[in-house]
Structure 1
Amino acid sequence: MSVRSRIEAVLQENLAPQRLEVINESHHHAGHQPDMTGEGETHMRVRIVSERFAGMTRLARHRLVNELLKPELDAGLHALAVEPAAPGEATRW
């Protein structure tokens, strides 16, 4: 199973999102470090709308997502960008 698929599964199971997009941005980071070729799944962006975020601060939302995805980060996911929103909140995407 791919990193993207595992991220989607964990977030679906734990946050029941109304909207979820997991984007592999690894190709944007080729050459940033000697071992970063732009291939694989090292840099991911998560755009998510979930009722679970209602009433939470932006920091609390990020902490929740990071906690849920800690196994992926520990296994080698280098960067994780998170764009969380509660239903009805404006998004840039």
Structure 2
Amino acid sequence: MNLQQQLMERLDTLNPSHLEIINESANHGGYYPGKESHFKVIIVSQIFQGMRAVQRHQKVYGAVQSLLAAGGGGIHALALHTYSEGDWDGHFPNSPECAHAPKN
């Protein structure tokens, strides 16, 4: 199972009503086809109701810890956009350009 699928499986434990996982590895230096190192996660869950952003992020990190590079996994960067159902308006921010992105 690839990292993106494992990430999806772990985040499903947070009972999301909306979940998007975008592999942004191609936008970063050192990319090669099939690389899985940089992801953007957009997750909406009622479990986040009443939590501050840092608490929401801690909840996500707790679910995916072993997949992160520091935990022995292969994910180098994880951009989190966490929303409760009341906060979610269907929009999320664009990712910034990476300074080491491959130049076309």
Short-chain TM bin = 0.7 to 0.9
Paired amino acid for 1:11: L
Q: Percent identity?
A: 34
Bigger share in helix? 1
| Residue 56 of structure 1: how far off its partner (Å) | 0.4
Structure 1 residues without counterparts, runs of 5 or longer:
31-35
Secondary structure of 1:69's counterpart equals helix
Q: Indicate yes or no: 2:76 matched with 1:86.
A: no
Structure 1 residue 22 and structure 2 residue 21: aligned?
A: yes
Q: Take 2:42 and 2:84, find their aligned partners in 1: how far apart are those partners? A: 11
Deviations 1:37-65 (A, max 9, x none): 25411001110000000000000001111
Q: Which runs of 4+ in 1 moved over 4 A?
A: none
Structure 1 residue 67 corresponds to structure 2 residue 62: yes
TM-score for the superposition, normalised by structure 2: 0.78
Query: What is the count of residue pairs matched by the alignment?
Result: 87
Structure 2 match to 1:33: none
Matched-pair contact (CA < 8 Å) for 2:3–2:74: no
Instruction: Give unmatched runs, 5+ long, in structure 2.
Output: 93-104
* TM-score normalised by length of structure 1: 0.86
CA contact (8 A) 1:29 1:38 kept: no
